Amino acid sequence: MFGFVTSTSSPLGLRFSSFHSNTITCFHHVSSGKNQFGGTCRTANGAPARLGSRRLAPPRVLRTLNCSTMDLTAPVTSSGNNSIGDHSAQGRLTPLVPILMGSKADKKHCDQIAAACHRFGLATEMHVLSAHKVPTRLLEVVGRLEADPRPKVYISVAGRSNALSGLLDGSVASPVIACPPPSDAFGGADIFSSLRMPGGIAPVVSLDPGNAALTAAKILGIHDPLVRDRVRAFQKANRDRLYVDDAEVATSAYLADIQAAARENNVLVSTDGVLSALVQQHAGTWRKKQGKVRDQFYSDAAKHMILVTTDRQSAFDRVLAAVPFKGAVLNLVSAWWFRRTEHIVPNHLIAVPHPNVTIAKRCDPFPIEFVVRGYATGSTSTSLWKNYERGVREYCGIKLPDNLHKNQKLWMNLVTPTTKEDIGDALISRQEIIDRGLMSAVDFDACAAYALRLFEYGQQVASEHGLILVDTKYEFGRDADGQICLIDEIHTPDSSRYWLATSYEERIASGKEPENIDKEILRLWYRDHCDPYKDEKLPEAPLELVTELSRRYIQLYEMITWDKFDLRLSTPSELQQALGPWFSGQGAKANFTMSSP
């Protein structure tokens, strides 16, 4: 049985109704000399189902649509779909942009317009028509197009004496955009044939193919939220591109300094020599624990711990290289995010007395890393995509659907926990964590909820700064008061994967990898040149790669914080001076304020 669900009005004042899957027959009628449209639909048993507010007779059958077999969710990806009432979502008529050219010589120009229209989800249909040579044919085609119920905006492409745009605009109620092809003839004077129209004839003129399509999309988007969303996405991509270009230009000026630091080995790889005097001075009080990237100093008598973020670059559970300025970037980016996520969950941050140093509350860490993923991607053995590629369909207790594609956005953000090991973190499910007594159900669920909220907030901020936060890891612990706190780091290029938002869709559509701005370029280089999991000795990363990685880390810092990174290399004595009060227990009494990264 056929039934209407909702009814909406098109930009042209026509009335359309959404429908349940069934078979219907559509009719149209062109009123003699008025180019008015009215329509009737009939159900499979012949009962009338009205599309318009008027019933026009006699209707002419145009097409029988088997709605039960139509793909009502497929996006428009190509031009030339002449189906009357073409649907891309249930109850929605895909807007149409007829592109009418005066000569086949204008086809290349029209192809550019069509390609731009498709990016906004608009269907296109091209015709070669001449207002001078065969005006009756032009009116015949326009009459058929006007009978098509799809909302539409016409784009006319004609130069020299542009009669096409004027005749077209005077024959239709829909908007007309004139986009004449580029020409050097007549010193550009022929453009006036598109600009100077008689009264009552009002095509809009846009000389750029992309802008003509954008104008059409903005008009059609007034009543079509899907098109409107694509216009907004396009505008955002333009803004994002400026953020990226600005950061790339700014950080390119740093390359000489970065390369000099790498060549001269001006990197903080170990705290042994730098802080040895302080450690010896407080021997028996402070102890050191060295991680892959951070050196931790803690004392049973202190409520705080000292975290020094080095320039060591780790991946595949081992240190791969030393990257200039990387430690400062990680520490300052983390501090920036810690300050801006306190409304979601408390964190361990107390102070940042030095670009590479965080003073943090001592917390008892949970033995689980909370990895949150928004996309099907990754290159490590624990990544979602590598496991999915091997046929895994239950990942960390989550059932994965078939037909996922690499780098596509997941249907929702997923919490995929791993154990916290010195070598080789292992994937684990919520139930396994509880069964093994690693965390209680209450604690796990609380941390998982915090992780999702942090990730959603991080994605929102990243999006506003021209980035996509793809995935990340969080660590949590309990402080002396029993409160759950976020610890370690947050949304750094070491713990997170970032892509450039402006090129994501285009690169995915063309089968390319997204542009990343994290340590993925180093991961991929090592995967191409060795087995980083099994080879005992690894090749040394090229200087150019290390330099570019450092520049990208700094670029990420500047894109996230919208602040200029300080390239000045600190001296060992400055680090000692910054940490001395915290080793002696006087740090909390000193007038330390966190730097404003």
CATH code, 81: 3.40.50.1970
CA–CA gap between residue 61 and residue 27 (Å, rounded):
5
Identify whether residues 322 and 355 lie together within a single domain: yes
Identify whether residues 327 and 234 lie together within a single domain: no
Asked, for residue 590, whether it belongs to a domain, the answer is no
Identify whether residues 301 and 445 lie together within a single domain: yes
Identify whether residues 305 and 334 lie together within a single domain: yes
pLDDT values of the chain reduced to their tens digit, one per residue, 597 residues? 333 333 333 333 333 333 333 333 333 333 333 333 333 444 334 444 433 333 333 333 333 333 333 332 333 334 444 444 454 455 789 999 999 999 999 999 999 999 999 999 999 999 999 999 999 999 999 999 999 999 999 999 997 788 999 999 999 999 999 999 987 766 667 788 888 888 999 999 999 999 999 999 999 999 999 999 999 999 999 999 999 999 999 999 999 999 999 999 899 998 887 777 676 676 668 888 988 899 999 888 899 999 999 999 888 878 888 999 999 999 999 999 999 999 999 999 999 999 999 999 999 999 999 999 999 999 888 999 999 999 999 999 999 999 999 999 999 999 999 998 766 689 999 999 999 999 999 999 999 999 999 999 999 999 999 999 999 999 999 999 999 999 999 999 999 999 999 999 889 989 999 998 878 888 888 988 998 888 888 888 899 999 999 999 999 999 999 999 999 888 888 898 888 889 887 765 444 444 444
Q: How far is CA 45 from CA 48, 64, 333, in A?
A: 9, 13, 66
CA–CA gap between residue 457 and residue 450 (Å, rounded):
11
The range of the structural domain enclosing residue 233 comes to 73-239
Q: How many CB atoms are closer than 10 A to CB 344? A: 17
CA–CA gap between residue 76 and residue 188 (Å, rounded):
36
Q: Which residues pair with 41 in a beta bridge?
A: 26, 49
Asked, for residue 589, whether it belongs to a domain, the answer is no
Asked, for residue 522, whether it belongs to a domain, the answer is yes
Name the residue with tokens 């509350």: 361
Sign of the C-alpha dihedral, residues 189, 194, 196, 198? positive
Q: How far is CA 374 from CA 187, 251, 402, 462, 488, in A?
A: 54, 28, 17, 13, 21
Asked, for residue 247, whether it belongs to a domain, the answer is no
Read off the amino acid at residue 125: E
What is the reported pLDDT for 283? 62
Sign of the C-alpha dihedral, residues 357, 526, 520, 432? negative
CA–CA gap between residue 475 and residue 460 (Å, rounded):
21
Give the total number of structural domains in the chain: 3
What is the reported pLDDT for 566? 94
Read off the amino acid at residue 539: P
Write the DSSP symbol of residue 533.
Answer: T
Identify whether residues 61 and 83 lie together within a single domain: no
Q: Are 124 and 79 in contact (CB under 8 A)?
A: yes
What's the chain's Rg over C-alpha atoms? 31
Written as six digits, the tokens of 183 are 């020409």
Domain boundary among 70, 94, 122: 70
Identify whether residues 191 and 155 lie together within a single domain: yes
CA–CA gap between residue 172 and residue 361 (Å, rounded):
71
What is the reported pLDDT for 90? 58
For residue 149, whether the previous peptide bond is cis, meaning omega lies within 30 degrees of 0, is: no
Identify whether residues 176 and 280 lie together within a single domain: no
Asked, for residue 595, whether it belongs to a domain, the answer is no
Task: Give, for 312, the enclosing helix (H) or strand (E).
Answer: strand 312-315
What is the reported pLDDT for 593? 41
Written as six digits, the tokens of 325 are 């300025």
Decide: residue 285, CB within 10 A, 0-12 exposed, 13-18 middle, 19+ buried. Answer: middle
What is the reported pLDDT for 187? 67
Task: Give, for 77, the enclosing helix (H) or strand (E).
Answer: none
- Name every residue whose Cβ is closer than 8 Å to that of residue 544 and which is 6 or more positions away in sequence: none
Domain boundary among 42, 70, 98: 70
Q: How many CB atoms are closer than 10 A to CB 51? A: 23
Identify whether residues 433 and 481 lie together within a single domain: yes
Is pTM beyond 0.85? Reply is: no
Q: How many CB atoms are closer than 10 A to CB 500? A: 22
What is the reported pLDDT for 592? 40
Identify whether residues 157 and 15 lie together within a single domain: no
Of the candidates 131, 82, 65, the residue with the CA atom closest to the CA atom of residue 102: 131
Per-residue HEC secondary structure of 339-385 comes to: HHCCCCCCECEEEEEECCEEEEECCEEEEEEEEEEEECCCCCCCCHH
Asked, for residue 564, whether it belongs to a domain, the answer is yes
Asked, for residue 487, whether it belongs to a domain, the answer is yes
For residue 203, whether the previous peptide bond is cis, meaning omega lies within 30 degrees of 0, is: no
Helices 255-263 and 543-561: angle between axes, nearest 10 degrees: 130
Identify whether residues 425 and 475 lie together within a single domain: yes
Write the DSSP symbol of residue 319.
Answer: E
Asked, for residue 191, whether it belongs to a domain, the answer is yes
Domain boundary among 20, 39, 70: 70
Identify whether residues 527 and 479 lie together within a single domain: yes
Our CA angle for 88, 93, 95, nearest 5°, is 95
Q: Say which CATH number the domain at 375 has.
A: 3.30.470.20
Identify whether residues 107 and 169 lie together within a single domain: yes
What is the reported pLDDT for 50? 39
